[in-house]
């Protein structure tokens, strides 16, 4: 099991690190790269074309502004690509989100919310859980822990206002 994290700039790393942590917490191997769709397009092509032979089963592509990275990678591989739009100063990340989500027919890129690194990581785990049964069980446990935290918070808040 291996998930690749590709970001257009190292300034995207704080958001990407949240996704990396989630994936690694599930015991999945990772590879992390900085590859620009616009400044290093040949490397983006090379990386995507070799993804499957390098054991990569899901790619998370983080980019801001024009955010073409996920689409460029998806054009060169059949490995599932998750787009992670990064908040930009120009349009509060809406430009990034729309650049990723509006892919042409035939080249899909799954897309999570702006700066939603945790959800990108969880979506990658869920994709892999289709193939790896142990991840399915781990996802159920994760959801159960999440549910318990909400119940604890509810109890605490309810007691405070009774």
**Does residue 126 share a domain with residue 49?**
yes
Tell whether 112 and 51 lie within a shared domain.
yes
CA nearest neighbour of 57 among 130, 140, 142: 130
* pLDDT for the residue numbered 162: 83
Quick one: 81 and 13 in the same domain? Answer: yes
Q: pLDDT per residue over 118-139, tens digit each?
A: 999 999 999 999 999 999 999 9
Per-residue pLDDT, 90: 77
Q: What is the pLDDT of residue 104?
A: 93
Asked whether residue 94 falls in the same domain as residue 139, the answer is no
Domain of residue 114, CATH code: 3.40.50.1970
* Parts of the chain with a pLDDT under 50: none
Range(s) of the domain holding residue 140: 133-162
Q: Is the dihedral of CA 47, 70, 4, 34 positive or negative?
A: positive
Shared domain for 101 and 53, answered yes or no, is yes
| Number of domains, the chain | 2
């Amino acid at each position: 099991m291996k998930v690749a994290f590709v970001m257009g700039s190292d300034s995207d790393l704080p958001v990407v690190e949240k996704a990396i942590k989630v994936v690694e917490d599930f015991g999945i191997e990772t590879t992390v790269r900085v590859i620009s769709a616009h400044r290093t397009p040949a490397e983006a092509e090379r990386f995507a074309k070799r993804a499957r032979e390098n054991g990569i089963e899901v790619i998370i592509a983080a980019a801001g502004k024009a955010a073409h990275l996920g689409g460029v990678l998806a054009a060169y591989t059949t490995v599932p690509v998750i787009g992670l739009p990064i908040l930009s100063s120009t349009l509060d990340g809406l430009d990034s989100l729309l650049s990723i989500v509006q892919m042409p027919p035939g080249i899909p890129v799954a897309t999570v919310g702006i700066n939603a690194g945790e959800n990108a990581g969880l979506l990658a785990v869920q994709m892999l859980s289709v193939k790896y049964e142990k991840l399915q069980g781990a996802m159920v446990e994760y959801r159960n822990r999440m549910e318990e935290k909400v119940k604890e918070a509810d109890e605490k808040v309810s007691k405070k206002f009774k």
